[in-house]
Amino acid sequence: MAVSTCPRVFASFECRSDPDFSGYPRHEKPGQGRSFRRVESARLGAAAASYRGLSSRILRFPPNFVRQLSIKARRNCSNIGVAQIVAASWANNSGSGVPAVPTATAVDTATTAAVPAEAGDPVVVPGNGALQVESVPASKEASFLSSDGSLTIHAGERLGRGIVTDAITTPVVNTSAYFFKKTINLIDFKEKRATSFEYGRYGNPTTVVAEEKISALEGAESTVIMASGMCASTIMFMALVPAGGHIVTTTDCYRKTRIFIETVLPKMGISATVIDPADVRALEAALKKHKVSLFFTESPTNPFLRCVDIEFVSKLCHKYGALVCIDGTFATPLNQKALSLGADLVLHSATKYIGGHNDVLAGCISGSLKLVSEIRNLHHVMGGALNPNAAYLIIRGMKTLHLRVQQQNSTGLRMAKVLEAHPKVAHVYYPGLPSHPEHELAKRQMTGFGGVVSFEIDGDLDTTIKFVDSLKIPYIAPSFGGCESIVDQPAIMSYWDLSQADRLKYGIKDTLVRFSIGVEDFEDLKADVLQALDTI
């Protein structure tokens, strides 16, 4: 069962029907308000007292309520009558002295206490009417949802969203800090008797929903989401690898990750062994020679889409006391379940498939509560918090993740076959093809092969540039996984600062093309690729 490591805390509000103001006088002209108030008691008597009480109740909004509404939303509220938005439950509970009940979720000690409770118990901050936690259901992954597609839509929301609201979509909580009504409430929080948010860098209700949705898909106890994929990977390295420690990674990987491993980690006394993704013997040799803290690899890798036998390397690494983290960005949580295969952690650049719309930067790490809490603690120190608006975009993007990935899997495989059969294409790298070196492995541990196809044009740098420039549908850009198709030449986009000889050390030829399939119609993409190949 996925477990959040942030508290579910939110000032609740409920919608009520329009109050009946019929029979009460209205201001006919500007300036009549004073005279109305002077005669109000005399004219209305007991009715006026009731009216004043109703008005008081209507205007008792939860803390930060107005700030949590956009200008447009506030304008809409005024159109339907402010009286429709009444903080009834908040007003009733405020200062009621409801005793605290231990939280029903495991909570990061850096944020609040982790106290066991019976599932379904309500959670409130004692005496602090500003904060309220919704009851947590016994299981966030309901038995009536049997597919990842349904989880992408409902996990973290319909199946136990901590934000109390009638809205189908998760509200964006735009605040940098959270207040405590009284000092005693703050002390209770600090001494782990109460659950609460405290500071924006340590957690946000909108962000928690995104984390729980990812945890449900990965089958993880906990997920921490950060401002980018690189933020997630660098903080993970620093949190889990001690000074003087050793890591093992693979040759084929995102270049910025390799730069961090080769240039920054050595300053902390951390060394690394770099092996071929399929070289299990080299991995075991490194495990025997060094006290390895972590084996980190992508699977599939970037840009050659090599695959690592996650189950085998996990067992091997655990034998020698090393952790395993798989960067599953190319695979997505739908095509591959790294944790169920034995990995300790799975990392994603959520900028790519998880967000899926080329409009947000984010990164996430999922795994056991213990490991993720260690990473989260350092994350709280280092910063790199995800903006709640970005968290909302991640939540929104994930609702179509299964549909997008199904389309991209299908189009990617069909396009790889078209390219492999074309005489002007020298080589195609795609795990769904029998020619791929890890094709059989990919079939065992993946349910789909993704929407990225890498291939080499039969020609030179200029020939490849002409092909890329002749394409009409994909954008020339440095990302992948979105709705729009994207194409780039790694030799130019990612390795242009290196000489041709240095690029070849990493296998990056001038003719290499990385094509990220979007959700466009396959026939349109096929026709575009074929006409571009005809120009060279």
Integer Cα distance of 431 and 440 in angstroms: 9
For residue 203, give the amino acid letter: G
Is position 201 annotated as part of the catalytic site?
A: yes
**Beta bridge mates, 43:** none
Neighbours of 177 (CB within 10 A): 11
Question: Buried b vs exposed e over 427-462: b needs ≥16 C-beta within 10 Å?
Answer: bbbbbbbeebebbebbeebbebbbbbbbbbbebeee
Residues 57, 192, 201, 466: which is the catalytic one?
201
Is position 166 annotated as part of the catalytic site?
A: no
Handedness of CA 488, 494, 500, 503 (dihedral sign): negative
Residues 108, 161, 188, 254: which is the catalytic one?
254
Do 186 and 180 touch, CB atoms closer than 8 A? yes
Number of H helices, E strands in the chain: 20, 16
Residues 140, 306, 352, 503: which is the catalytic one?
352
Category of 417 on φ-ψ map: left (φ > 0), alpha (ψ -120 to 50) or beta? alpha
**Beta bridge mates, 124:** 132
Residues 327, 344, 488, 510: which is the catalytic one?
327
| Nearest CA among 236, 207, 221 for reference residue 347 | 236
Handedness of CA 209, 215, 221, 222 (dihedral sign): negative
Is position 404 annotated as part of the catalytic site?
A: no
Do 348 and 229 touch, CB atoms closer than 8 A? yes
Is position 352 annotated as part of the catalytic site?
A: yes
What Rg do the C-alpha atoms of the chain give, in angstroms?
A: 28
Q: Would you give the end-to-end CA distance of the chain in angstroms?
A: 53
For the annotated catalytic residues, the residue numbers are 201, 254, 327, 352
